[in-house]
C-alpha cells in the first residue's frame, strides 16, 4: 500500500556523473531545491564532480557521506534504473524514500524525466509524494561478496556460469526441501521489482511490486521442462553449485562476484525495504503501459 509524505526539508542528491548532461541536470535540480529553502546534501563523488565543473551551484550545499544520510527526508537519484539500484545500496537499511530522475533510457524505476526536472520538483515540494515499499533479497556473504551490507539486491541475485565454461548445475532447495537441479547457464532469483528486469528477459512472469513472492527462473535451461516458478518470499532458498570450472559468477543487481564451485548460497528476503518515491497519482499499471507499451498492438 502506498504511503504519503509531505514534509520535505532535507534532501540528499546522488547520481551517475557519467550520464550525458549530468552537470546541467544536477545544476537545475539543486537550483530548484535551494530556491525553496531546501537543505541540499550531495553525495561525495557527485559533489567532487560538480565542484570541478559547476562550482557556483554548490553554494550553501554540503558534501554528504554515507553515515550522514540520517535525517534526510528524501534521496534524489539522478541517472537511470542502474543508478537507482546503486542509490538503493547507498541508502541501505535506512528506508529513506528514493525519487528517481531519468537521464537514461527505459527508466522503469524512475518517475521524473530529464526535461521536466524543475516543474516536477516544484510539484513534489508543493504536493508531497507517495512511496511503494519494495522488497530486497539478502544473500549470505560468499565467495568475493564478503561484506554483508553489499549482499542485497532490489532486482535479482543471479548465479551464472563464467564466460568460458560449459553449463552449471544448480541444486535448489526451498526451506530445506529439494526442489530440482537446474542444468542451465544460470539461475535468477528475483524480487517482484526485478520481474521487469533480467527475469523478464528469460520468460518469467511480471509481478505486481506489492506481491510477497520470489521468482526462480533458469537462464538458457538445457531441458524444456524447467520453467520459472513463483514461491512465497518467506521461504529460505539454498543453492548448491556444481560445474566443470573452478568458479561461477554471482551477480547482485549487476554487481558481479566470483564464487567457488561447490559453494552453498543462501538467499532470503531482507529484513528491510526500499521506499520508491513517486509523484502523487502514479500507478504501477500506468508504468507498465507507458514504459513497456503493455498490451499495445504493434
Q: Do residues 265 and 238 touch, judged by C-beta distance below 8 A? A: yes
| Residue of 220, 103, 202, 109 lying closest to 155 (CA atoms) | 109
Quick one: CA dihedral 97, 103, 109, 115, positive or negative? positive
| Residue of 237, 236, 233 lying closest to 211 (CA atoms) | 233
Whole-angstrom distance, CA of residue 219 vs CA of residue 7? 44
CA dihedral 42, 46, 52, 57 (to 10 degrees): -40
- Tell me how far the alpha carbon of residue 209 is from its chain's centroid: 12
DSSP 8-class letter at 142: B
| Residue of 188, 268, 265 lying closest to 236 (CA atoms) | 268
DSSP 8-class letter at 185: S
Q: Do residues 254 and 188 touch, judged by C-beta distance below 8 A? A: no
Q: Do residues 156 and 199 touch, judged by C-beta distance below 8 A? A: yes
Residues with catalytic function: 81
φ, ψ at 82 (rounded to 5°): -60, -40
Amino acid at each position: 500500500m502506498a504511503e504519503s509524505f509531505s514534509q520535505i526539508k532535507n534532501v540528499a542528491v546522488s547520481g551517475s556523473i557519467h550520464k550525458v548532461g549530468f552537470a546541467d541536470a544536477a545544476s537545475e535540480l539543486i537550483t530548484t531545491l535551494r530556491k525553496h529553502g531546501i537543505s541540499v546534501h550531495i553525495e561525495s563523488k557527485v559533489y567532487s564532480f560538480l565542484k570541478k565543473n559547476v562550482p557556483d551551484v554548490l553554494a550553501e550545499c554540503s558534501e554528504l557521506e554515507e553515515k550522514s544520510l540520517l535525517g534526510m527526508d528524501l534521496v534524489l537519484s539522478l541517472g537511470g534504473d542502474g543508478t537507482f539500484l546503486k542509490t538503493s545500496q547507498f541508502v541501505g537499511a535506512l528506508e529513506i524514500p528514493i525519487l528517481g530522475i531519468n537521464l537514461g533510457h527505459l527508466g522503469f524505476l524512475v518517475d521524473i524525466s530529464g526535461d521536466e526536472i524543475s516543474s516536477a520538483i516544484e510539484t513534489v515540494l508543493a504536493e508531497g509524494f507517495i512511496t511503494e515499499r519494495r522488497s530486497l533479497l539478502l544473500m549470505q556473504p560468499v565467495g568475493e561478496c564478503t561484506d554483508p551490507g553489499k549482499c542485497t539486491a532490489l532486482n535479482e541475485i543471479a548465479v551464472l556460469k563464467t564466460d568460458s565454461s560449459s553449463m552449471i548445475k544448480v541444486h535448489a532447495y526451498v526451506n530445506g526441501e529439494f526442489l530440482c537441479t537446474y542444468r542451465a547457464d544460470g539461475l535468477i532469483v528475483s524480487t517482484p521489482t526485478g520481474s521487469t528486469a533480467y527475469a523478464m528477459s528469460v520468460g518469467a512472469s511480471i509481478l505486481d511490486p506489492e506481491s510477497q513472492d520470489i521468482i526462480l527462473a533458469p537462464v538458457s535451461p538445457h531441458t524444456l521442462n524447467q520453467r520459472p516458478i513463483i514461491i512465497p518470499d518467506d521461504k529460505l532458498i539454498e543453492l548448491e553449485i556444481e560445474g566443470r570450472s573452478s568458479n561461477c559468477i554471482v551477480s547482485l543487481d549487476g554487481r558481479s562476484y566470483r564464487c567457488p564451485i561447490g559453494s552453498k548460497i543462501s538467499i532470503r528476503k531482507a529484513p528491510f525495504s526500499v521506499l520508491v518515491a513517486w509523484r502523487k497519482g502514479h500507478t504501477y499499471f500506468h508504468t507498465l503501459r507507458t514504459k513497456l507499451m503493455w498490451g499495445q498492438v504493434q
